[in-house]
Amino acid sequence: MCGDMDLKNLFQAERKVVCVQGLGFVGSAMALAVASARDEAGAPQYNVIGIDLPSDAGRKRVNSINRGVFPFACNDKKLEEAQQLAQQTGNFRAATDPADFQYADNGGFMRKGITENTHTFLFFLDI
């Protein structure tokens, strides 16, 4: 749940929902990349839910994203613009409740994992 709101009701129903696990710098940027995907008419192709841990840092990132602010300092204006566009179009929300994974369409799940100091990215976007 995103605050007191049910995430399912925040999105337009006709779009597929992709969940991104982990909203560190890379996870936040990957979620924005998916949220930035557009169809032929220029409309958002996916609704994106970013899910982070319910820790102080996770809640800070979630609150930042939901305010339309990229949660990390960076010099990349395109990331900041993408975050603002996602806020305006309403197709990217963040939460700390793992129950929100239930909203992902089949295959609509992205996870960034770290094993033995290497990054492993798992993409399941065959939705």
Q: What is the pTM of this model?
A: 0.79
Q: Which runs of consecutive H residues, i.e. helices, occur in the chain? A: 25-35, 56-66, 77-89
Architecture per CATH, domain 22-124, reads as 3-Layer(aba) Sandwich (3.40)
Q: pLDDT digit string (tens) for 42-92? A: 999 999 999 999 999 999 999 999 999 999 999 999 999 999 999 999 999
DSSP string of 21-57? E--SHHHHHHHHHHHT-B-TTS-BSEEEEEE--SSHH
Token readout for 108 is 């609509």
What is the pLDDT at residue 124? Answer: 46
For 7-32, the pLDDT digits (tens) are: 666 666 678 888 899 999 999 999 99
CA distance 7 to 103: 8
